[in-house]
Amino acid sequence: MNLLLLFQKSIILQYSQWIFISIITIIAFHWFFKYLHRIWPLGKTLDHNHIIADKLNNDDEENEEHDEYTPALEENEHIPYEGATIKLPGGAEQFYKMVHNRRSVRSFKSHPIPSLKVIETCIKAAGTSPSGAHTEPWTFCVVSNKELKQRIREIIEFEEELNYKQRMSRQWTTDLRPLKTDHIKPYLTDAPYLILIFKQIYGFTKSGKRKQHYYNEISVSIATGILLCALQAAGLSSLVTTPLNCGPFLRDLLNRPANEKLLVLLPVGYPADDCRIPDLQRKDLNDIMQMY
């Protein structure tokens, strides 16, 4: 009974109403912000920044009402478009055979080095990707310098060791076992090129105003898909990697600005002579397509 009395007098019970109120407050705040986010998704939260930026940059006539909001793109007359005139002779079938031949490669040979011209053309192809409000929110950093590749490898292997041992779930590392990946990444120094693809979270207009990049992650990932096809068309192999927790270090290493975040890193080149890949099957059409 003494224990019960002690319990009743305990600090927790004494302040129980306040603890209760605190918890209610936390939950209420949580739902309130969730709701706010729902009714004002994405851009809305940045609206205040825009207004401030507008005020800072508005050294023009302040009474010009229509100047308060100007589009990032020019408002030109639209032009006629007759559709896809440059296609493949073999159409979708030829394209499918080509991309079905693509596989992710984890061991590369250092030579021959593909011509930089080809890499540039592949990146130009990726740059034709659609993007939210045509913001083109991508930067492709091509690294061929040996010391820099070595430094990138050191950063990634250091972080990946922590990822595999601490940060990733055991199920995750188990799911990666059939792909035989671990934190040792020789392809980062073997491959003649590394392409680090950064998404630009925001950009700047010609007048220096901050410009919102809508759906930048989806846009840059779509561009990555186009890049993969271009590399395959050129006979090159690659691997899409997402080095967990390495983004800020790699951004600093390459002196990229604060509005850029690493999305993916692709080693690019030719597979090593003894290159082996997982014996994977792709899902059947019936498993990925539904007709309505």
Residues 255-284 that bind its own copies (CB under 8 A): 263-264, 270-271, 274-280, 282-283
DSSP state of 280: -
User: Judged by CB under 8 A, which of 9, 177, 206, 258 binds its own copies?
Assistant: 177
- Amino acid identity of residue 53, one-letter, is A
Q: Which of 138, 185, 188, 191 binds its own copies (CB under 8 A)?
A: 138
**CB closer to its own copies, 258 vs 280:** 280
Q: Toward its own copies, which CB reaches closer, 13 or 26? A: 26
Binding status of residue 291 toward its own copies by CB under 8 A: yes
Is residue 123 part of the contact set for its own copies (CB under 8 A)? Answer: yes
Nearest-angstrom CA–CA distance, 15 and 27: 19
Q: Which of 58, 95, 186, 204 binds its own copies (CB under 8 A)?
A: 95
x/- map, 45-84, its own copies, by CB under 8 A: -xx--x------------------xxxxxxxxxxxxxxxx
Q: How far is CA 176 from CA 95, 226, 267, in A?
A: 29, 25, 19
**Distance (Å, rounded) from C-alpha 285 to C-alpha 98?**
17
Nearer to its own copies, 6 or 292 (CB): 292
**Residue of 36, 100, 208, 252 that binds its own copies (CB under 8 A):** 100
- Closest approach, Cβ 126 to its own copies, in A, equals 8
Q: For the chain, what's the residue count? A: 292
Binding its own copies (rule: CB under 8 A), the pick from 58, 133, 158, 164 is 133
Considering the rule CB under 8 A, would residue 189 count as an interface residue with its own copies? no
CA angle, residues 127, 257, 51, in degrees to nearest 5: 90
Could you give the CA distance from residue 205 to residue 256 in angstroms, rounded to a whole number?
18
* Residues 32/24, Cβ–Cβ less than 8 Å: no
The torsion region of residue 195 among left (phi > 0), alpha (psi -120 to 50) and beta comes to: beta
- Which pair of tokens denotes residue 260? 């850029």
Residue from 12, 86, 112, 258 binding its own copies (CB under 8 A): 86
Kind plus residue range of the DSSP H or E element containing 47: helix 47-57
Q: Is 13 in the site for its own copies (CB under 8 A)?
A: no
